[in-house]
Structure 1
């Protein structure tokens, strides 16, 4: 066994044990992890070449391997509040985590909203669209709030929320349009990617269509106010430190400091 594979797998197994995962399950994960880490090292050309893209590939392998797969825990504090948090890059593991909880909360109470909060550097768009499709199949409305930074794949989920879409004042959002090959045949993957991006933003926002027509790779960055103006969000929400009683009193009085945008038209 390669020393690096052993060290990384040992770190991961320590995390599993710290999370009170049964020793038998932890041992099984240990064996799987060492194999996956070894494969990632080999794919990178050996330990001496583990730099740059090779490290990224290693991290992706670990993230998407399901090493931390666990059942939905009804006693999870956020879940008890009908809340889900995304605070890392989008990938298959994150999508599974979110989708499991969306389905669980919808089955538990289809009439109450679900709160999804997102702070992400982006990631795999397939994972983002998987969350979107499941979110839109639920009876329970899903409110999505962007926090800090909501880039690329995260903005896809935000734009297509079935409930209220919001961002905190200091959030930066981005729409990433890759350097797609626009002249491919109808079954070309780039054509399919561009079409679903364009259609999602056309349907749910007022983002300029020209953003998707310009050749080359483009990142469009927006602050919360710009996102509000372009219909990516419905309001800018301000974190509150007031007590529950003070908030309820303010609501009864009709108070509030959140900035709201124009209402969305029905799709």
Structure 2
């Protein structure tokens, strides 16, 4: 660019062999005449358009710069002197030059490979593959989205299977604090039961409480679990009562007991265990690894990928308690 500007400056000078850009100091009259001639030639040349030098037409920055140099050379030649900025580096502050993508990127190769449209969001891509991912506690916003996705996938094709990946703590947080009502889990469960599609459920991290119910509610033979995932069933928690009167607390407690009985019946239905067995193990939080969840009937298959040997070497919890002399009280 500097060579192009230098060539432009040289083209403004008169082509007379006797002309010198610096007039001799010995003759004042001839020096004044030469200076006037230089100014006249400069103005005449400045009024004419400078031919655009050959550049890469795909480079937006150089194209804009050459266009300004050809149409308005005074913007580049008559520049104010600024000691704080090196010569010609302040052109990057020009809004006329920087109104193009050159402000951010000046690499033609990068511009050519940049995507023309923004990529779609990840949930939409998963939904396009008929995948519903539950990766948060079952709060109203999650329930609304999951139910809507299930309804949409059934409307789209009632014969194709739906894949539900679960990594959720149910209606509670990791520390056991209640974050949602039990009806959130029941809403998703009822939607699953209304589907005509085959539902594949996969536990990829943890399925606790109501999330464990959703895991077991998949189509028989299509309920899967990752080797190191965990499942846990527990009784519903009583929400924080705050400053409620005693009568309201009693009403809430009765509602929690009703939800517990419903949860026990549904787990008994999908796991194949008796109601008494499920109610007995749910007295306290009941954790299950993949083999134990398969034995209990929550899942049908474990998605092994070479981890069989690792899991086989792990001592079962009952044997560990026996070796450590720990007696479990039921």
TMscore range, shorter length:
0.5 to 0.7
| Alignment partners' CA distance in 2, 1:74 and 1:233 | 27
Identify the match of residue 135 of structure 1 among 192, 203, 209: 192
The equivalent residue for 1:114 is: 162
> What SS does the corresponding residue of 1:136 show, helix, strand or coil?
helix
* Distance apart, 1:97 and its partner CA: 0.7
Task: Say whether residues 1:232 and 2:268 are aligned partners.
Answer: no
TM-score, structure 1 length as denominator? 0.55
> What SS does the corresponding residue of 1:238 show, helix, strand or coil?
coil
Identify the match of residue 83 of structure 1 among 128, 131, 139: 131
Distance verdict in 2 for CA 1:80–1:218, change over 3 Å:
same
Contact map agreement 1:176 1:220 (CA 8 A) in 2: yes
Distance verdict in 2 for CA 1:82–1:192, change over 3 Å:
same
Higher alpha-carbon deviation: 189-198 or 74-83: 74-83
Distance verdict in 2 for CA 1:112–1:160, change over 3 Å:
same
Matched ranges for 1:160-179 at <5 A: 160-162=217-219, 164-178=222-236
Contact map agreement 2:207 2:232 (CA 8 A) in 1: yes
Gaps of 5+ in 1: 1-72, 241-267
> What SS does the corresponding residue of 1:202 show, helix, strand or coil?
helix
Gaps of 5+ in 2: 1-120, 172-179, 239-249, 307-330
TM-score, structure 2 length as denominator? 0.45
Contact map agreement 1:179 1:217 (CA 8 A) in 2: no
Identify the match of residue 213 of structure 2 among 113, 137, 156: 156
| Alignment partners' CA distance in 2, 1:89 and 1:170 | 20
| Alignment partners' CA distance in 1, 2:237 and 2:147 | 29
| Alignment partners' CA distance in 2, 1:216 and 1:231 | 15
| Alignment partners' CA distance in 2, 1:205 and 1:214 | 14
* Distance apart, 1:153 and its partner CA: 1.7
**Which of the two has greater strand per residue?**
1
| Alignment partners' CA distance in 1, 2:274 and 2:257 | 19
Distance verdict in 2 for CA 1:214–1:204, change over 3 Å:
closer
Contact map agreement 1:179 1:215 (CA 8 A) in 2: no
| Alignment partners' CA distance in 2, 1:171 and 1:215 | 19
Contact map agreement 1:159 1:201 (CA 8 A) in 2: yes
| Alignment partners' CA distance in 2, 1:169 and 1:208 | 26
Task: Say whether residues 1:194 and 2:260 are aligned partners.
Answer: yes
Contact map agreement 1:136 1:162 (CA 8 A) in 2: no
* Distance apart, 1:137 and its partner CA: 0.4
